[in-house]
Amino acid sequence: MQRAAKCALRLDISRAFCPSNVRNCRAVNRVNGSVSCRRYSVLPPPRDEEEKAMLDSMLRVDHAGEYGANRIYAGQMAVLGRTQTGPLIQHMWDQEKMHLERFNEILGEHRVRPTLLLPLWNIAGFALGACTALLGKEGAMACTVAVEESISEHYNSQIRTLMEADPERYTELLQLIKEFRDDEIEHHDTGLEHDAESVPGYLLLKTAIQAGCKAAIYISQRI
């Protein structure tokens, strides 16, 4: 209740004092300058450059991750779209599309720079999805399991970072990340249910994909 009141007050302040806030410190200026926020903003107004940098890099890598996952499912659908697993993959893809859209909104609202390597993740994701799908339904499921495990581990570590920093302050962001992490874990479990482990070379494939994901996360946080 109190939090809702605080959020509403913050919203009003950011609308009414928009022009004068611009004179304040740059970091605050960049967020409070957005008059386009129509509802709760997921991030608190940053209190200094450091926090803005940390939140920026977190959102950048999350956005890149969802974008990559989107492309992986697109690749899988391109190969397996007309088979029996088509509807299942389509369902998971739709959820990822929803996540990506949410992150697009947040990035636009909070003026976060997207990663420069998006074209690379575009191609790499599609290629990964298509190649694993060519191994059959089990291959596609194995890829899903590996990627979703990486992503949910990554979200968990972000949740840990935010909880250690200040759970009160980042409540909305934590809620969002938890919700997305639960969706990813659901995808992971779905993959396991649909015979992911029966693909030949499962462990090798899984390790390779997860190593790639870790590298992608590391780079996207910085560039």
Partner 1 sequence: MAALIRGLRAGRVLRGLGSVAVQGTLSPQCSNVRRGFHRAALLRLANDSKSDTSVPPPSYHEVDTAGESSSSSAHGESSEDAQPNTSFQDQSGEHGEDYETEEQLQARILTAALEFVPQHGWTVEAIAAGAETLGLSSASTGMFNNGAGDLALHFVAQCNAQLAETLAEQNNQVQLGQAESKKTAEFLRDAVEVRLRMLIPYIDTWPQAMSILLLPHNIPDSLKHLSTMVDDIWYYAGDRSTDVNWYTRRAALTGIYNTTELVMVQDSSPDFEETWAFLDNRIKDVVNMANTAKQVQATGEAVVQGLMGAAITLKNLTGMNQRR
Q: Which of 3, 6, 113, 178 binds partner 1 (CB under 8 A)?
A: 113
Question: Given the complex with partner 1, which of 116 and 211 has the nearer CB atom?
Answer: 116
What are the tokens at 128? 């990964």
| Residues in 3-22 at the binding interface with partner 1, rule: CB under 8 A | 18-19, 22
- Which residues, other chains included, contact 130 with Cβ-Cβ below 8 Å and sequence gap of 6+? 75, 76, 78, 79
Residue 110, annotated ligand binder?
no
The dihedral sign for the CA sequence 180, 182, 183, 189 = positive
Cα–Cα distances in Å, from 182 out to 85, 107, 185, 188?
22, 21, 5, 10
Residue 186, annotated ligand binder?
no
Residue 168, annotated ligand binder?
no
- At its nearest, how many Å lie between partner 1 and the CB of residue 55? 15
Residue 91, annotated ligand binder?
no
- At its nearest, how many Å lie between partner 1 and the CB of residue 185? 25
Query: Using CB under 8 A, which of the segments 6-14, 23-31, 154-162, 178-186 binds partner 1?
Result: 23-31
Give the whole-angstrom CA distance, residue 157 versus residue 186: 18
- Which residues, other chains included, contact 37 with Cβ-Cβ below 8 Å and sequence gap of 6+? 11, 14, 109
| Residues in 52-91 at the binding interface with partner 1, rule: CB under 8 A | 63, 82-83
Q: Which of 35, 98, 204, 211 binds partner 1 (CB under 8 A)?
A: 35
Q: Give me the helix-helix angle, 118-134 and 202-222, nearest 10°.
A: 170
Residues near partner 1 (CB under 8 A):
18-19, 22-23, 26, 29, 33-35, 63, 82-83, 103-104, 107-109, 111, 113-114, 116, 118-119
Instruction: Please state the residue numbers annotated as binding site for Fe cation.
Output: 66, 96, 99, 148, 184, 187
